[in-house]
């Protein structure tokens, strides 16, 4: 049995919002633990989009998911957090008014406050119809290393942003790139679609994957495509099925928090309906919510600082500017 852990704040979810929340907690002098079901930091961004260029982070015209996670991790580590990776937050109970979270591995964390930053919740890629069993043999749902596409024939399946992003990223390094979509219209951003159409990527609409074929080594070497002109076989050693994913709150749904659809309802303090439980990032819902990483950063700071005043009612909500900690000129809150 794991020894119980006691901290001021438990952050459930190690994605961008969770990592920034960890930094904010450390900035306020709170002890903090970070729990995530994945084996490494970064959440969905780290697992699904490590090589994708992210364009909506303030001050960074473009940054890959991997680089963003590396920077956020370095910042979060200044809080000296307890990292509880590979643990799914399973149950929530209260002991003398204090939240106690137990993981699926039996680890118990007694936290003065809990902050849920679980992104989209538990996520599962939508499978490529009729092509189960090829994972690890050339079929993948996310590209974790673009170098794996170098000098390969790549087939990307899908019509959304991820499919077009992967096709565009592969175009500069793969031997050939084919994008197959079952419809003749796309869900991806128009600008990205135009870039792909202007590139060497072969775009096949009203086309579906009929079968994958492996070589003697057991790895995929070609794919059969059914399209308007019948069935044809193309070379493909790598198949990226970017068909989206299904997501749900998983065990969090049993905690009893008020929900808004598949999201956690919060107020302007980022407080949930449960005492001492806050939430931030894509997992939350409130009127006017915009689901951007940049918004999640602000929500994380709001949640941590409001949680701090719950832990110590005599403390200030505003933690001060970070520049004030380094001997620079002090400004009053709200000064320009």
Residue 184 annotated as binding site = no
Residue 144 annotated as binding site = no
Six-digit token pair at 145? 């290393």
Residue 94 annotated as binding site = no
- Angstrom distance (rounded) from CA 47 to CA 38: 8
Residue 141 annotated as binding site = no
Residue 89 annotated as binding site = yes
DSSP class of 241: E
- Angstrom distance (rounded) from CA 150 to CA 197: 20
3-state secondary structure of 85: strand
Question: How would you classify residue 183: left for phi > 0, otherwise alpha for psi between -120 and 50, otherwise beta?
Answer: beta
Q: Which residue has the tokens 């439980």?
A: 277
Nearest to 212 by CA among 110, 139, 314, 321: 139
Whether 7 and 33 have beta carbons less than 8 Å apart is answered as: yes
Nearest to 239 by CA among 161, 180, 182: 180
**Helix 190-197 with 161-171: angle, nearest 10 deg:** 40
- Angstrom distance (rounded) from CA 150 to CA 129: 26
DSSP class of 189: -
Residue 49 annotated as binding site = yes
Whether 309 and 113 have beta carbons less than 8 Å apart is answered as: no
Residue 44 annotated as binding site = yes
Which residue ranges are tagged as binding site for FAD? 36, 44, 49, 89, 123, 282, 323
Which residue ranges are tagged as binding site? 36, 44, 49, 89, 123, 282, 323
């Amino acid at each position: 049995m794991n020894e119980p852990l006691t901290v001021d704040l438990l952050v459930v979810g190690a994605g961008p919002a969770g990592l920034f929340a960890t930094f904010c907690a450390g900035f306020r002098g709170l002890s903090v633990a970070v729990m995530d079901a994945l084996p490494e930091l970064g959440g969905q961004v780290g697992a699904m989009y490590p090589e994708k260029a992210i364009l909506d982070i303030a001050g960074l015209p473009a940054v890959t998911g991997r680089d963003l996670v590396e920077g956020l991790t370095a910042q979060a580590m200044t809080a000296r957090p307890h990292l509880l990776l590979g643990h799914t937050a399973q149950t929530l109970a209260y002991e003398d008014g204090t939240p106690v979270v137990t993981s699926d591995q039996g680890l118990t964390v007694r936290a003065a406050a809990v902050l849920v930053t679980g992104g989209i919740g538990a996520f599962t890629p939508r499978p490529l119809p009729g092509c189960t069993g090829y994972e690890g043999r050339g079929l993948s749902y996310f590209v974790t290393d673009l170098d794996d596409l170098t000098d390969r024939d790549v087939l990307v399946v899908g019509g959304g942003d991820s499919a077009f992003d992967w096709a565009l990223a592969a175009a500069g390094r793969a031997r050939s790139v084919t994008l197959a979509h079952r419809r003749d219209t796309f869900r991806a951003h128009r600008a990205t679609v135009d870039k792909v159409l202007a590139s060497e990527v072969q775009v096949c609409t009203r086309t579906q994957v009929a079968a994958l074929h492996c070589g003697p080594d057991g790895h995929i070497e070609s794919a059969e495509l059914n399209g308007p002109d019948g069935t044809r076989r193309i070379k493909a050693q790598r198949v990226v099925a970017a068909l989206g994913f299904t997501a749900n709150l998983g065990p969090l749904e049993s905690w009893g928090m008020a929900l808004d659809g598949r999201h956690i309802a919060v107020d302007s303090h980022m407080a949930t309906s449960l005492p001492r439980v806050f939430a931030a990032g894509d997992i939350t819902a409130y009127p006017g919510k915009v689901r951007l990483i940049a918004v999640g950063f602000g929500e994380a700071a709001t949640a941590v600082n409001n949680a701090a005043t719950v832990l110590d009612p005599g403390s200030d909500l505003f933690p001060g500017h970070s520049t004030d900690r380094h001997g620079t000129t002090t400004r009053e809150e709200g000064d320009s």
